[in-house]
Structure 1
């Protein structure tokens, strides 16, 4: 939590106001290519961004990633209980629940409000991660941003967002062999930026599949 001006804009409200109007892009990607990728981009991302400064925390988030991917393979539905289960590993804390106060991020420049229905609205948003008429990259991008801007936990929300993204992709048999390009600041009121994130995820999925095919024996 970070102190901020009382009259600061509610970034969660800003995200919810544009969420249904984001110009999500079309995607003509294919189903996952046969065989595993040469690298696990999300795993490499966590290791590179946290490994040296927090080896124990890195081990915990990698355990959470393993659990998230196993949940995807088992056909689990994304909901807050599932997300909380991963976050217990990340934070090494139990119980883990929805935050009870407004949250702040980006050095206090974004405030995420809290109302009586915030947790229920987050649950509803998570349930839309399988929306059939929205392409996979857009569903993954929207879920990632939902976690960032609802900011449901007292700590570790960026890690939770990346875990949720990996889960949504894995549910469709997709993965990324590079995730570092996703490490860009996202703003709650930026509809075009949300669409651009979906474009980027689509490019990364397609690039991963292309490299998988090139590695596969003829």
Structure 2
């Protein structure tokens, strides 16, 4: 199963698709599974397909050996004349985000390793934060090391911060937060904590984030429905 680590220096691509109805989400998942199961691209390492929960849509968490390998994929006839047109018909937005893993933290019960796949049954939250380039590192620090309180939060499993490098379908710099929870109830309870009951470290981290975020974060929750790695 794919693992997420700051020690791996490969490219992490997060493809986010939104749609307007659950039926189109099902079509998106079907099309993404076809692509993942047939993938033999040079430099492709793994793909993990997520189905939207709070809002219809999908996320594909993809690991590539390098940006050069990904660009070869983007230049191909299949991508430009089949993949993009098919997704264009059933989506309301497409964001293709290239990133590197900047920070990870996991609950001690995970044994120091973050895995992604349907075998784990994680409830996953993905948030994309717009930020000015000069404030990107501050936001990464606030979202990463500044969120140590997660380890004391019931239901928390892991948290990954991705440094945005470049994107299609999204202007400007960005940072991505990818977190795993044991259930929707645990995540919703974390989000619903009243301001006066939050630990001081959480209040401080959220204040740092608000000070540099340059727009409304794009947030959705997901369940992993399919994964495959090269060689499988």
Query: TM-score interval w.r.t. the shorter chain?
Result: under 0.3
Structure having the larger proportion of residues in helix: 1
Scaled by the length of structure 2, what TM-score is found?
0.24
Structure having the larger proportion of residues in strand: 2
Tell which has more relative contact order, 1 or 2 (C-alpha 8 A, sep 6+).
1
Scaled by the length of structure 1, what TM-score is found?
0.25
